[in-house]
A and B are shown apart, each in its own frame.
Chain A
Amino acid sequence: MQKINISKISINKETILLYVFILTFVFMSILSPSKFLSLGNLQSMASQLPELGIISLGMMVVIITGGINLSITYTAALAGIAGAFVLSSGLGSEATGIYVFITILKALAVILLTGFLCGLLNGYLVGSIGVAPILVTLGTMTLYEGVSLLFTKGGAISGFPLQYQWIGNGNILFLPVPIVIFILFALLTGILLERTAWGRSVYMFGCNPTATLFSGVNIKKVIMFVYIYSSVAAALAAIIMTSRYNSAKVDYGSSYLLQSVAIVVLGGTDIAGGYGKVIGTIIAAGIIQILSSGLNLIGINRFIVDVTMGILLIGVLLLNFFINKAGRKGVMTKQQKEMKTDKKVPA
């Protein structure tokens, strides 16, 4: 009888997720081939996924450091509203030419700058002052929501130039523009995390902030950039959202907050920090998107959709937990073996 060496079978979190993704996709396709696999539905999912996906990536970077960014969706709202003021000022939807182009560029810059400033405040409070991330971002969440309400009185701002809608609804070749933005942003995030000194420091800080500080890493700077990156991601999502809805409003995307945390954790990121991969978050965002669109499509009650998602999330978390536990046991037996062999060597 052949012995199976369990440690040789590589079951990493990302592969499991990929199987879950394929399973949900196949399951939905079988359940409702005509509706789920229709071009319309696939396109609609493809245009919704980027907003949630980009916000989740922004959330992931913070969670890898062991923090959390509760202000992420209101950062998106505030940035969108700031841009909306530029977009709706002076120009009607029938304006044309170079002025429209400049206005749109100005709006994009304002949105990204607002995101940058929101992140700067979070990063300063967390990194330099040293307040717990959950408290800082809970505070700034309320602050950014408040500022947004102050400027809009809760209403929507609309009247954008027609051309602006291309970002949310247009295509490059056959790909929706939001998908292109999402892919580029995911690539950028992956490269920054895996291939730069900053990214390396982010993971090391997440595992052990003290040892990272003691290694001469400027952790204030690292954390500052983490929160700025997270907020700029929110601003990017805001660009897609305002364009897709052709307006800006304080509660656009507010449901993404807890969803993005769920996606990041589902995607295998350690909520305590130190581990997390772009690909895991992307697949997890895909799973959530397929489930919510698919179940909606076949006419399942909204509440049952939530129940299903909750069960799926808990299931994957339990699976990860047990895999981790098995992994730790493996390390421990290995250590014990080494200690035994050490003792045989005469001192």
Chain B
Amino acid sequence: MEQKPFLQMRNISKTFPGVKALDAVKLEILPGEIHALVGENGAGKSTLIKILAGVEIPDPGAEFLIDGQPANIQQPLDSTKRGIAVIYQDFSLFPSLTVAENIGFGREIGQGRRFVNWIEIRETANRALQELGVEIDLNSQLEKLSVAKQQLVAIARALAFNARLIIMDEPTSSLSQAEVEGLFKIIRNLKAKGIAILFVSHKLQELFTIAERFTVLRDGKYIGTYLKKDLNEEKLISLMVGRKVEFIKQPGGKVGQPILEVKSISKKGNFKDISFRLHKGEILGLTGLVGAGRSEVAQALFGLNAPDEGDIILEGKKVSIHSPEEALSFGIAYIPEHRQIQGLVMRQSVAKNITLTSLKKIRGKLGFLDNNSEKNLVNQYMQVLDIRPKNPDMLTMQLSGGNQQKVVLAKWLATNPKILIVDEPTNGIDVGAKAEIHRLLRQLAAEGIAVLMISSELPEILAICDRILVMRRGRMVAEFNIDEATQEKIMNKAFLGTANSVSA
């Protein structure tokens, strides 16, 4: 059966400052095909989708054909007009509008109308829902519907735009088993109508149920497109992992006494039954797919997300931590994932950022801030971390990403922490700075600090950790010693592991 492809993308590259997110990737989608796009975190799936949606523009030299004709996609409206619709994880709908408005509005605006034709909007909405074969009251407000129904509205909205390719980003992440089956039925219906689906998901079992072909990305590169019959789960994982990025292997240190013990903590909707031990002088890696609940666990230890159940035992004493202020007083430091929002006050100087965690320390007589002790503290840590340029009065936003991250490290080292939690510490910084941060973390561990490192970058985890924990869907699914861990083993657990496979 020879079919002309609906969509052909060839030689798609995308360069962000310092990072090549996509490198000569290709993607081909046939009419009425259910196609899966798979890859690890950071493999480039999201960037590819954004290019498809017209949100990002690829580097020059890209070929983008629809029905064999070159398509010039410069903005989201261009891609919508060509029949490409994206349903993001959060659906990107309007919660306070009605179902009819959500389905019908975009089309009105897309046609450049200035006035709203209410009758037409309702007709459009009705037609789209009928085409899907579902019944939803057109007048109900969107946010009052269940997640599964909201998703159907999003799909109906795509149909109202005469979509020929619907891209679904993690569509099953908040659906129950029955709802997933309902969704799959609808997807097969759409297929019968000649509408193609591009399915992006981490749930391999589901992909094997629904998808016909798989395109695999790794490290921004195209690995291949495979038919379902040529693949199984293990083989697919082995295609996804094996990232070539190499980091200098940092030798492990002497692991000391346990300092922190987490005993089956749970938080509804976040994580369940998490237990582990953290020792002085070790770097404990915590990995898993994005959304597995890693940051939530870290923030539970930092007082931002107190668990509902379970115990946190710090140096042999049971503690409860309800605010970062308390965490700080217990000697727990947290370098958050979103440096520019959570980590730094970008519009203020490097010096003020460094001392923000230690204002109590630099108070002199009468409780006033002491200029000299502030200067000393700032100079000390700017030197230890080699922050450049060596100007404490420079605004933090003027520094490079790597130096900004060092400022975050500096402000927490200034508190003399016993436990340092780092969340994606090398996210968005260049390779040289990454290696420097790795060396620093290892050095801190050697000084006796217990480090818990959350990272999605397996090469990084394998380069500097002593032990590795793997989470999946809010559960702890595996623990590896560094000498037995490989990328394949970790990814296997991250994608397929169950809570029973680990005895903590």
User: In the assembled complex, which residues on chain A have CB atoms less than 8 Å from the CB atom of B343?
Assistant: 211, 214
| Cβ-closest chain A residue relative to B348 | A207
Write the residues of chain B forming the contact surface with A, with a CB cutoff of 8 angstroms: 17, 304, 323-325, 327-328, 334, 336, 341-348, 352, 355-357, 359-360, 363, 367-369, 395, 397-398, 400, 411, 415, 430-432
Closest B residue, CB atoms, query A204: B345
Q: How far is the CA of A218 from the CA of B352 in the complex (A)?
A: 17
A195 to B363: give the CA distance in the assembly, Å.
9
Give the number of residue pairs across the A-B interface with Cβ within 8 Å: 86
Judge whether A196 and B431 touch: CB under 8 Å.
no
Q: How far is the CB of B304 from chain A (nearest CB, A)?
A: 8
**In the complex with contacts A215-B324, A339-B400, A347-B430, A196-B367 CB distance below 8 A:** yes
Contact B341–A339 (Cβ < 8 Å): no
Given contacts A210-B341, A338-B400, A339-B17, A197 and B347 within 8 Å (CB-CB): no
A216 adjacent to B342 (CB under 8 Å): no
Known contacts A197-B369, A200-B369, A215-B356; is A347 also within 8 Å of B324 by CB? no
Compute how far the CA of A342 lies from the CA of B388 in the bound complex, rounded to whole angstroms: 12
Q: Which residues of A contact B17 (CB under 8 A)?
A: 339
- Name the interface residues of A321-347: CB closer than 8 Å to any CB of B: 331, 334-335, 338-339, 342, 345, 347
A217 adjacent to chain B (CB < 8 Å):
yes
- Asked if A197 and B359 make an inter-chain contact with CB atoms under 8 angstroms apart, the answer reads yes
A200 touches B356 (CB 8 A): yes
Q: Is the CB–CB distance between B348 and A216 below 8 Å? A: no
- Measured in the bound complex, the distance between the Cα atoms of B398 and A214 in whole Å is 21
Task: Kindly list chain B residues whose C-beta atoms are within 8 Å of the C-beta of A200.
Answer: 352, 355-356, 359, 369
Choice from A196, A201, A217, A331 contacting B397 with Cβ under 8 Å: A331
Dominant secondary structure at the A interface? helix
Highest count of chain B CB atoms <10 Å: which of A214, A215, A339, A342: A215
CB within 8 Å for A216 and B369 given contacts A210-B342, A211-B341: no
**Is the Cβ of A204 less than 8 Å from the Cβ of B398?**
no
Is the beta-carbon distance between B324 and A203 smaller than 8 angstroms? no
Known: A200-B359, A204-B345, A338-B400. A216 touches B324 (CB 8 A): yes
A214 is contacted by which of B334, B359, B369 (Cβ under 8 Å)? B334
- A contact residues vs B (CB 8 Å cutoff): 191, 195-197, 200-201, 203-204, 207-208, 210-218, 274, 331, 334-335, 338-339, 342, 345, 347
Q: How far is the CA of A226 from the CA of B191 in the complex (A)?
A: 60
Instruction: List residues of chain B with CB within 8 A of the CB of A214.
Output: 304, 324, 334, 336, 342-343
Does B400 lie within 8 Å of A217, measured CB to CB? no
In the complex, chain A residues whose CB is within 8 Å of the CB of B327: 216
Which residue of chain B is the closest to A216 with respect to CB atoms?
B328
Task: Identify 15 residue pairs between A and B in the complex whose beta-carbon atoms are under 8 Å apart, listed by A's number.
Answer: A196-B368, A197-B369, A200-B352, A204-B356, A207-B347, A208-B345, A213-B324, A215-B356, A215-B411, A216-B325, A216-B327, A334-B398, A335-B397, A335-B398, A347-B431
Contact call B400/A331, Cβ cutoff below 8 A: no
Report the minimal beta-carbon distance from A223 to chain B, rounded to whole angstroms.
14
Question: Nearest Cβ distance between residue B86 and chain A, in whole angstroms?
Answer: 29
Q: A200-B352, A216-B357, A339-B17 are in contact. Are A208 and B398 (CB under 8 A)?
A: no
Whether B323 lies near A196 (C-beta < 8 A) is no
A201 to B356, CA, bound (A): 8
**A216 to B412, alpha carbons, bound, how many Å?**
10
With A216-B327, A331-B397 known as contacts, the answer to whether A197 contacts B345 (CB < 8 A) is no
Question: Given known contacts A195-B368, A196-B368, is B397 in contact with A211 (CB within 8 Å)?
Answer: no
A197 & B363 in contact (Cβ 8 Å cutoff) = yes
Chain A residue contacts of B324, Cβ below 8 A: 213-217
Known: A197-B369, A217-B325, A331-B395. A211 touches B359 (CB 8 A): no
Chain B residues contacting A342 (CB-CB under 8 Å) are 400, 430
Is A347 touching B395 in the complex (CB atoms < 8 A)? no
Q: Can you name the residue of chain B whose Cβ is closest to the Cβ of A270?
A: B347
Most chain-B CB neighbours within 10 Å: which of A191, A203, A208, A210?
A: A208
- Complex partner residue of B360 from A197, A210, A211, CB under 8 angstroms: A197
Q: How far is the CA of A279 from the CA of B328 in the complex (A)?
A: 35
Least CB distance from A159 to B in Å reads: 42
* Shortest Cβ gap from A226 to chain B (Å): 16
In Å, the complex CA distance between A334 and B334 comes to 30
B359 to chain A, nearest CB (A): 4
Instruction: Determine the residue in chain A with the shortest Cβ distance to B395.
Output: A331
Q: A-B pairs with the 4 shortest C-beta distances? A: A216-B328, A197-B359, A215-B356, A216-B324
Please, which residues of chain A bring their CB within 8 A of the CB of B398? 331, 334-335, 338
B-chain residues with CB within 8 Å of residue A197 when the two chains form the complex: 359-360, 363, 367, 369
Contact of A217 among B304, B356, B431 (CB under 8 A): B356
CA distance A162 to B347 in the complex (A): 52
For A213, what are the chain B residues with a Cβ–Cβ distance below 8 Å? Answer: 304, 324
Contacts of B347 in A (CB 8 A): 207-208, 274
Q: Kindly state the separation between the CA atoms of A339 and B342 in the bound complex, as whole angstroms.
A: 23
Distance to closest chain A CB from B220 (angstroms) = 17
Known: A207-B347, A339-B400. 11 other contacts (CB 8 A): A197-B363, A197-B369, A200-B359, A203-B352, A204-B352, A207-B345, A212-B356, A216-B327, A217-B324, A331-B395, A347-B430
Q: Which one of B304, B360, B369 has the greatest number of beta carbons of chain A within 10 Å?
A: B369
User: Which residues from A are CB-within-8-Å of B346?
Assistant: 207-208
Q: Which residue of A lies closest to B370 (CB)?
A: A195
Q: A281 vs B91: C-alpha distance in the bound complex, in angstroms?
A: 46
Q: With A and B bound together, what is the CA distance between A218 and B367 in angstroms?
A: 17
Q: Which residues of chain A have C-beta atoms less than 8 A from B334's C-beta?
A: 214
Closest B-chain residue to A331, C-beta based? B398
Shortest C-beta distance, A214 to chain B (Å), equals: 5
Q: How far is the CB of A195 from chain B (nearest CB, A)?
A: 5
**With a CB–CB cut-off of 8 A, which chain A residues contact B432?**
345, 347
Report the separation of the CA atoms of residues A345 and B357 in the bound assembly, to the nearest whole angstrom: 33
Q: Assess the A218–B323 pair: CB atoms within 8 A.
A: yes
Distance in angstroms between the alpha carbons of A191 and B369 in the assembled complex: 10
Closest to B299 in A: A214
Whether the Cβ atoms of A211 and B344 lie closer than 8 Å is yes
CA distance A223 to B28 in the complex (A): 55
Closest chain B CB from A333 CB (angstroms): 11
In the complex, how many angstroms separate the beta carbon of B406 from the nearest chain A beta carbon?
15
In the bound complex, residues from chain B placing their C-beta under 8 Å from that of A274 are 347-348
A204 contacts which of B328, B348, B369, B415 (Cβ < 8 Å)? B348
Q: For residue A328, give the distance in angstroms from its CB to the closest CB of chain B.
A: 10
**Chain A residues with CB under 8 A of B328:** 216
With most chain A CB atoms within 10 A of its CB, the pick from B327, B341, B345 is B345
Cβ-closest chain A residue relative to B338? A210
Interface centre among A200, A203, A212 (most CB of B within 10 A): A200
The residue on B at minimum CB distance from A334 is: B398
Note all chain B residues with C-beta closer than 8 A to A218: 323, 325
A155 to B367, CA, bound (A): 45
Q: How far is the CA of A248 from the CA of B357 in the complex (A)?
A: 45
Within the assembled complex, what's the spacing in Å between the Cα atoms of A218 and B411?
A: 16
CA distance A116 to B324 in the complex (A): 28
Q: How far is the CA of A217 from the CA of B334 in the complex (A)?
A: 13
Cα distance, A204 to B347, chains bound together (Å): 9
Most buried by A among B325, B334, B411: B325
What's the nearest-Cβ distance from chain A to residue B369, in Å?
A: 5
